Amino acid sequence: MNTTTLFFQLFQNMLVLLAAPLLLGWVNNCRAWMQGRSAAGIFQPYRSLAKLFHKDAVLAHNASPLFRHTPYLLFVSMWLAAAMVPVLAIDLPLSAAVDVIALVGIFALARVFIALAAMDIGTSFGTLGARREMLISFLAEPALLMVFFTASMIAHSTSLTTIVETLAHKQFVIHPSLAFAGIAFLMVLLAENARIPVDNPSTHLELTMIHEAMILEYSARHLALIEWASAIKLFAYITIGIALFLPFGIAEAGNWGALPFALVILALKLAAAGFGLALLESVSAKLRIFRAPEYLGTAFLLAVLGILTLNLLKV
Amino acid sequence: MTLAQQLINLFAALLLLISFAMLSQRRVLTLINLFAWQGLILAISAAVVAWTSHQHHLYYSAGLTLLLKVLVLPWLLHRLIRKLQIKWDVETLFNIPTTMLIGIVMVVFAFNLALPISALSATVTKSTLGIALACVLLSFMMMITRRKAVPQVIGFLAMENGLFFAATSATYGMPMVVELGIALDVLVGTFIFGIFFFHIRETFDSLDIKHMEKLKED
């Protein structure tokens, strides 16, 4: 690891941290346009975060240290996950430290803590949200792993760097299995980020909310950190999708000349992904909660089919 | 692997995807549209096989598929369900996740079954035989797990699609006479099914075929 790659890593860390709310704002803006509402501007998430950071935090009397520490843990683990996905450049120092299975593990760690914190206060909403979150995530996680395995089997490695290198730099090959994996990944992305077919990010209706129910007890800086972490999580998932399925235009670490081009390409891809997400959310309706297992079962099945077709079509 | 081969593999994967989508679909209208898409992909893949292997008779079968399975049959089915006024949700015997899991097992079975056969074959499309077989099995299962008559018929037609794809991938298609015969069979079959639907409904006031299990009226 030399200094240049270290600078690249730091640059990506800051980019992930600062661009994540922008992406969220862009998605919300697109959705507002499509639904004929006037949009709040793409910088609205920054304003909300600033507002929350300036408020005084209120904690329940029976809140344990776990409740207070969870936002920080959540924030750091999401930041770590987003920072090690090779989006701007490959061969980052952090990417070498963790592979795709560890990445799923980091997401799982954050999820365990947020669910525990939700149950910590003892309100019925928190418990309800935590249970629903667990129902969704225990089905989404194997599907996500299978998607990663499909890509890993193509690249013969579970390291994200090698996967992206293989997919981006080899000559053009159509992988039908990646089409299956792509659809499965999209379904998991929507479910894991509390997006429309499974959860509605903009509702506080008690019958339907999942993610919002878990964080009802948080306020001020804790809530700000959790909201920021959710934005980074969405950013991380979208960049994982870009890394696996549209990895062209990526720079080598330490190659400053390729960086502006990679940055422009990434911005374009993110804008397109955000627009697509908003479109998808506008045209689809929320599923009943008991349809969610079916939805995620389909995602798992598609990912398994991806692996199967990969094995069959490998001549 | 050449580009044509990759394209055929991609179309094969899409066919499998559509088969699964049909298996998990609850609505009759969407089912018919999916069937039309399946026919379209089948026609394109047959044309690609024809182009890459210089088998000119495959162009005719691609055209025939396009005409019959993308235009005529879906139009007939649409007209049928409009006349019968059935837009209900399809009732399945098992719940959908169970059906999908059984479907996966069948895909694994079909892939393993096809491996030794495709090792014998020398065509460019040999690796897609497993997918063709899986499509046939999945459509077959759709026929078994649906309770109403219209989805069963769509399952039957989808099975014919799978068979056609199997023939293309294993031996570059069947002789023209056989293909024409099958096409006519399918067309006439759909007409007869259509007439049957009306008779079933007139007799039982429903298209649920469980009424037909009884031999006597009580």
pLDDT digits (tens, 9 = 90+) for A285-297: 778 888 888 888 8
What pTM was computed for the model?
0.83
Q: Which residue has the higher pLDDT, B145 or A169?
A: B145
* B16·A298 Cβ contact <8 A: no
Which chain A residues have a beta carbon less than 8 Å from that of B24?
298
Structural domain boundaries enclosing B178: 3-213
How many angstroms separate the CA of residue A304 from the nearest CA in chain B? 8
For residue A201, pLDDT over 80 is answered with no
Question: Does B172 reside within a domain?
Answer: yes
In sequence order, which residues have a C-beta less than 8 Å from that of residue A79 and are 6 or more positions away? A13, A16, A17, A229, A232
Query: What does the pLDDT read at residue B89?
Result: 60
Q: Which amino acid is at B94?
A: F
> Out of A180, A301, A315, whose CB is closest to B127?
A315
> Out of A179, A297, A305, whose CB is closest to B97?
A297
For residue A1, pLDDT over 60 is answered with no
Question: Does B91 reside within a domain?
Answer: yes
Between chain A and chain B, the number of residue pairs with CB atoms below 8 A apart is 65
Q: Which amino acid is at A33?
A: W
Interchain contact B9–A (C-beta under 8 A): yes
> Out of B5, B108, B127, whose CB is closest to A308?
B108
* B6·A309 Cβ contact <8 A: no
Distance CA B91, CA B72 (A): 26
Structural domain boundaries enclosing A191: 3-313
In sequence order, which residues have a C-beta less than 8 Å from that of residue A9 and are 6 or more positions away? A83, A92, A93, A94, A253
In chain B, the number of structural domains is 1
Please state at what angle helix A292-313 crosses helix B96-120, rounded to 10 degrees: 0
Q: B 77-116 residues with CB below 8 A of A?
A: 95-97, 100-101, 103-104, 107-108, 111, 114-115
Residue identified by tokens 């803590």 is A113
Band (A219; pLDDT cuts 50, 70, 90): confident
CB A140 within 8 A of CB A228: no
Interchain contact B121–A (C-beta under 8 A): no
For residue B12, pLDDT over 80 is answered with yes
ipTM of the complex as predicted: 0.72
Question: Does B134 reside within a domain?
Answer: yes
Distance CA A289, CA A280 (A): 19
For residue B120, pLDDT over 80 is answered with no
Structure tokens at B204: 């039982």
Half-sphere exposure at residue A214, Cβ-oriented, CA atoms within 13 angstroms: 26
Interchain contact B7–A (C-beta under 8 A): yes
β partners of residue B151 = none
SS (H, E, C) chain B: CCHHHHHHHHHHHHHHHHHHHHHHCCEHHHHHHHHHHHHHHHHHHHHHHHHHHCCCHHHHHHHHHHHHHHHHHHHHHHHHHHHHCCCCECCECCCHHHHHHHHHHHHHHHHHHHHHHHHHCCCCCHHHHHHHHHHHHHHHHHHHHECEHHHHHHHHHHHHHHHHHHHHHHHCCCCHHHHHHHHHHHHHHHHHHHHHHHHHHHHHCCCEHHHHHCCCCC
CB B129 within 8 A of CB B101: no
CB B165 within 8 A of CB B39: no
Query: What does the pLDDT read at residue B122?
Result: 67
Residue identified by tokens 């240290």 is A65
Band (B185; pLDDT cuts 50, 70, 90): confident
Name the average pLDDT for chain A. Answer: 84
Question: Does B218 reside within a domain?
Answer: no
* B128·A311 Cβ contact <8 A: no
> Out of A176, A180, A294, whose CB is closest to B97?
A294
Query: What does the pLDDT read at residue B126?
Result: 67
Query: What does the pLDDT read at residue B37?
Result: 92
pLDDT digits (tens, 9 = 90+) for B63-118: 888 888 888 888 888 888 888 777 666 666 677 778 888 888 888 888 888 888 77
* A312·B131 Cβ contact <8 A: yes
Pick the closest to residue A25 from A227, A221, A218, A190 (CA basis).
A227
> Out of A176, A293, A301, whose CB is closest to B10?
A176
Distance CA A76, CA A62 (A): 25
In sequence order, which residues have a C-beta less than 8 Å from that of residue A127 and are 6 or more positions away? A118, A119
Query: What does the pLDDT read at residue A170?
Result: 63
For residue A312, pLDDT over 70 is answered with yes
* B13·A179 Cβ contact <8 A: yes
Structure tokens at A84: 């090690």
Q: Output the CA torsion B185→B33→B59→B164 (10° steps).
A: -50
How many angstroms separate the CA of residue A310 from the nearest CA in chain B? 10
Structure tokens at B65: 């598929």
In chain A, the number of structural domains is 1
Q: By a Cβ cutoff of 8 Å, what residues of chain A touch chain B?
A: 173-174, 176-177, 179-180, 183, 293-294, 297-298, 301-302, 304-305, 308-309, 311-315
Which chain B residues have a beta carbon less than 8 Å from that of A180?
13, 17
Which chain B residues have a beta carbon less than 8 Å from that of A298?
24, 100
Distance CA B135, CA B15 (A): 7
Would you call A194 helix, strand, or coil by DSSP? Answer: coil
The DSSP call for residue A291 is G
* A293·B97 Cβ contact <8 A: yes
Query: What does the pLDDT read at residue B88?
Result: 64
